[in-house]
Amino acid sequence: MQRYADCPQVLRNFLAYHETIKNQSPKTISEYYLDLRMFLRFIKLMRSDMPIRTRLDVIPIADIDLDFIAKITTTEVFDFLSYLANDRTDNPDDRNPDYGISATSRARKLSAIKSFFKYLTVRTKQLTENPVAELEYPKLRKSLPKYLTYEQSAALLKAVSGPNQKRDYAILMLFLNCGIRRSELVGLNLTDVYEDRIRVVGKGNKERFVYFGEACRKAIEAYLPERNKKFLTDNRALFGSRDGNRISVTAVHRLVKKHLLAAGLDASQLSAHKLRHTAATMMLSGGVDVKTVQEVLGHENLNTTQIYTHIENTELKIAAEANPLSKLDFSE
């Protein structure tokens, strides 16, 4: 927790709780830290005599105590959300900065605030009043995740070429067959590969086994002899890079974009994460129940997986309307 030394003790305790007890990822802890630091800086600014245009990043919060937090009201939280929607800018030094952040970003920050006050009122009982308990999240625009069709997936795999052809082909096959995350793929070790499945370490260090089919097995088997000839700085890694290190998330992002372009697909709209969406959609299209897909993808909440059922329902509707018989009407 030394890296959060600029925070008050109560916030460091909250972060430590999520790191050690809840076992959440370093990325999640960092997001909590940044969101709550901004929130507390804003509250301190609003309560102080500092000029209203004072930049939040210069406001110290290490002196904030539990009494300060106990006095935070719902109105102050609304003021913070209004600031985010109308006045917040990530580039204040630009000549014409963009003001206001998206509803998704505001919802994430509110989620951090809600988690913080739940920790103080329910988990540790340091406070009795929760000013955000009934606060609703900003309304989000719902959009279906983009994914590749069967034909586009085939075109992508056919387009793979170059000096790392076998490695890249195996990576794409794992994405399209197993629906794993980029971070999960990067973390794969040689010992995580079995004859018909891989062992994946997902969010919160939760382990799961994901099975793959014959084509994916062949892709991995074709790559392994090439991999075994290389010595990496972390020689446990399943996939390595040109510089002899474990392949990075950034490198995976680039190679996916490269092969999408080679396949003639819109790389600006598609990514490695969209290949995960593709795997989920294809599983549901093939008749796999949503609960099983949830386990494959490693979703903690079934609601996260159910968005793919909307994709499937949309495709079924299009298929029904494409049937020439759907236009026949002799009812009158």
Q: What is the mean pLDDT of residues 99-105?
A: 79
Tokens encoding 204: 């919160």
pLDDT above 70: residue 173 = yes
Q: What is the mean pLDDT of residues 262-291?
A: 83
Whole-angstrom Cα distance, residue 162 to residue 148? 22
Q: What is the mean pLDDT of the chain?
A: 84
Task: State the catalytic residue, choosing from 203, 253, 257, 258.
Answer: 203
Tokens encoding 24: 């959440």
pLDDT above 90: residue 178 = no
Q: How confident is the model at residue 292 (pLDDT cuts 50, 70, 90)?
A: confident
Give the count of alpha carbons within 13 A of 191, CB side only: 4
> Catalytic site residue 308?
yes
Instruction: Indicate the range of 48-52, 160-164, 165-169, 215-219 predicted with least confidence.
Output: 48-52
Looking at residue 97, what is its pLDDT? 56
Whole-angstrom Cα distance, residue 169 to residue 174? 9
pLDDT above 90: residue 36 = yes
Beta strands in the chain (DSSP E): 197-201, 207-211
Whole-angstrom Cα distance, residue 322 to residue 282? 20
pLDDT above 60: residue 315 = no
Q: What is the mean pLDDT of residues 306-332?
A: 52
Task: State the catalytic residue, choosing from 146, 208, 227, 273.
Answer: 273
Please state, as a whole number, how many other Cβ atoms lie within 10 Å of the Cβ of residue 229.
7
Q: How confident is the model at residue 205 (pLDDT cuts 50, 70, 90)?
A: confident
Q: 316 vs 126, which has greater pLDDT?
A: 126
pLDDT above 50: residue 276 = yes
Task: State the catalytic residue, choosing from 181, 182, 246, 274.
Answer: 181
pLDDT above 60: residue 311 = no
Looking at residue 294, what is its pLDDT? 78
Whole-angstrom Cα distance, residue 255 to residue 258? 5
> Whole-prediction pTM value?
0.58
Beta strands in 151-194 (DSSP E): none
- Over pLDDT 70: what percentage of the chain? 83
pLDDT above 90: residue 96 = no
- Over pLDDT 90: what percentage of the chain? 46
Q: What is the mean pLDDT of residues 10-24?
A: 91
Instruction: Indicate the range of 53-67, 247-261, 284-298 predicted with least confidence.
Output: 284-298
> Catalytic site residue 273?
yes
